[in-house]
Structure 1
Amino acid sequence: MFGSSLGGANAYARVGIETGVAAASPHKLIVMLFEGAMVAVASSIQHMQSGDIAKKGEAISKAISIIDNGLRASLDKKVGGEIALNLDALYEYMSNRLLTANLKNQPKVLEEVYQLLKGLKDAWESIAPKADIQVQAQQTQPAQSMPKTQAYDALAPQTSRLVKA
């Protein structure tokens, strides 16, 4: 009648993701795409092993979508030259392998794609711009403690702020 508590948790997670995307640099967005594709591939492996064909197909479709509509679409082949062309070919290969893994129920093929994505993500992170590295360092440092202020005591005598005329 009132929905499940998972609905609220999912909405909260979506807001967190949307906030992260809005605040992310273009470099960080690519890292997020790699992470999303990796999560989808890992999920498809679990669903394949448990025999949940529908969820396996959804997860593989999500991974293909992230690779094709996110990673591959973000390539600038004119500016990127040979590297962009090679990445385009690799993304196409991964999409085709995911399709094959889905059709033939081959978890080893999914693991192959996962490892390719992980290698690319690690390489991409290693070339992070200085601004991204500084943000990551700030996020991993413990929060600075707030300056101490005296607690308000309603019964303590107060100094008058009135100005004599």
Structure 2
Amino acid sequence: MLDFGNGYQAYKNTSVDARAAGADIHKLVLMLFDGFMDELSRVEGHIQARRFDRKAESIDKLVKILGGLEASLDQDNGGEVAANMQRLYQFCGNTLLQVSLQNDLSQLTLVREIMTNLQQGWQGLAERIS
């Protein structure tokens, strides 16, 4: 039997790589947010289905995305805004680790709320710059 999953994953990775190659920093950050929100939904599904090994993989991806978001902050020129966003990213990372340990879906809601608000802020910024 053919494994179409691997082919689809390769296509998806190529598509993301192509979009990233031509994107400015704001678009890259928005791509990270989109990926984060998708993966966050997967974590919820993995917990509900009791697929704890896959949940752990998804939590790891989320933490890496948060690292990418944090790395995109301009700490030298961003002042208090960059520092506050860094704290929010770190809070979300710590909360995700607690979700992983406790399989607590209620904590995912808080992370989703924070990240949705930040994503909307970045979308507004990108619209003003365009």
Indicate whether the TM-score tops 0.5: yes
- Partner of residue 17, structure 2: 18
CA distance in 2, matches of 1:8, 1:58: 20
Contact 1:42 1:114 in 2 (8 A): no
What's 2:66 paired with?
67
Give the corresponding residue for 1:93.
Answer: 91
Matches within 5 A, 1:1-165: 3-68=2-67, 70-128=68-126, 132=130
How many angstroms apart in 1 are the aligned matches of 2:25 and 2:18? 14
The answer to which structure has the higher helix fraction is 2
What is the root-mean-square deviation in Å for CA atoms of aligned residues?
1.6
Larger Rg: 1
Aligned mates of 1:19, 1:98 — CA distance in 2: 29
Bigger shift: residues 6-15 or 19-28? 6-15
Q: Are the counterparts in 2 of residues 44 and 56 from structure 1 also a CA contact under 8 Å? A: yes
Q: Which runs of 5+ in 1 are unaligned?
A: 133-165
Q: Where in structure 2 are there 5+ consecutive unaligned residues?
A: none
Q: 1:79 is matched by which residue type in structure 2?
A: N
Q: Is the CA contact (8 Å cut-off) linking 1:97 and 1:113 kept in structure 2?
A: yes
Question: Percent same amino acid at aligned positions?
Answer: 34
Q: Distance in 2 between matches of 1:83 and 1:131?
A: 18
| Displacement of 1:130 | 5.5
TM-score (norm 2): 0.92
Which AA in structure 2 matches 1:115? E
Distance across 1 between alignment mates of 2:129 and 2:80: 27
